[in-house]
Each structure stands twice: as C-alpha cells, then as structure tokens.
Amino acid sequence: MEMGWNPDTVIAFATCVAAAAAIVAGIFAARSFVEMKKQASEAEQQTAHARRQAEQSEKQTEEARAQSKAVAEQLEWARVDRERAQAESVAAWTESVGNDLVVVVQNQSLTPIFDVRLATCLGTDNRPKRYYAARKTVLPPSKDDGHKLAPAAATIMNLEDWRKKHPKNPLPRVDLIFKDKYGIEWQRHWDGQLHPYESEQPFPTEWLKADGTSLTATP
C-alpha cells in the first residue's frame, strides 16, 4: 500500500510539531523564569546593599553631628570659662574704719572692671534688704587691700538700726554688679553666688533707696 499524507498523518504530524514547540517554549520559559528570578535576586541584593550603605551613611552623619555638637559644647564651655575667669577674681565686702563703714572692692584680675555698682545687705538671710552703697565708672586691678569706698546715704541712714540688731556681726554683706573686659555684666550676690546680670535696668528692683523704695521706681 502506498504511503502518503492523509488526515490522520497530518494531524499526528501537527501534534508532534505542537508538542515540540510546546517543549521548546517551556524550555525558553523556564530559562526566562530562572533568568528573571536571578535578576530579581540580584536586584534585591543591590537594594539591600544600597539600604546598608544608606544606613551606614546615616550612622556616619549622626556620629559626625554628635562630634560637631560635642566640639561646639566644648568651645562654649571654654568661652564661658574664659569670660568667667575675670569675674571670679572680683569680690566685695565691708570693713570698719574707726566708727565708719567702708565698702571694699577687690579686683584680683589683670584688667580693670567697669560700671561697678554696690549695695549693702542690711536685712536678714530670709529678707535681705539691700540698700544702695556706691557706683564707680572703673576700678583697676587691686591685688592687696582692694578699693575702699565710702557708702552712700541710703546705706548710712539705715546702718545704725541694722547694727543694733546685729551687735555681734556689725559688718553687712555686699551685693556687687560690674562689667568685665568683654563688656559682660556680672552680679555677685551677698551670699557669694556669681552669675551674669541680665536685666536691662542698671540696678535690680530689690536694691533700695534710703526711704526703702526701689532704686528703679519712678518718682
């Protein structure tokens, strides 16, 4: 019997071709999937690497910021210490010269102090009434006895009553305000505490006139 093409042969051949094409397509699809998976894995690794680099960069930025802050704080502390050095060398107290009271200002620094303002504390620790005592434009260094100043009327007129109440300690303590060589104003309280004087008024509201009213009060 002669061999030839018939419908069954054509169908069988087409089926084989389709199967072969499917196999080839499957192989290419599998290869494409593997390649895509590989690319996805590489992309994920690159993303993770970029994330680690970003985190490391952020950490380095934070460390640099912290170091910069620490340096700035050290510079600020050095500035405060430098500015405070002269102020720490200035003090004031009272002494008796015969029956008279004098206010003593000692400037142990190497440069003058300016706009020196003083008040005597004639009250108690709980109620320290501070009466105006003196004001000087400039006081040069004084390493020995200090500058002796006669107190103002506000102190003198209230001194006797205070002495009667404090016979064992007739020398009142002193409030002191002054400007250092940098132009910074400082206040040393009657209790020894030193801090910047930040008021816009030349005198604290607690400083009093002879009649007991505030130096800053308007007439």
CA 19 vs. chain centroid, Å, equals: 81
145-185 pLDDT, tens digit per residue, is 899 999 999 999 999 988 888 888 789 999 999 999 999 99
Tens of pLDDT along the chain (219 residues)? 455 556 666 676 667 766 676 776 777 777 777 777 778 778 788 888 888 888 887 888 788 787 777 766 666 666 667 778 889 999 999 999 888 999 999 999 999 999 999 999 987 767 778 999 999 999 999 877 899 999 999 999 999 988 888 888 789 999 999 999 999 999 999 888 999 999 989 999 999 999 989 988 766
Q: Is the model's pTM score more than 0.85? A: no
Burial of 91 (0-12, 13-18, 19+ CB in 10 A): middle
Location of structure tokens 């108690």: 124
Element (H, E) at 82: helix 7-88
> What is the C-alpha separation between 88 and 91, in angstroms, rounded?
8
Phi, psi at 185, each rounded to 5°? -90, 140
Tell me the DSSP string of 18-79: HHHHHHHHHHHHHHHHHHHHHHHHHHHHHHHHHHHHHHHHHHHHHHHHHHHHHHHHHHHHHH
Q: CB-hemisphere CA count at 13 Å for 84?
A: 11
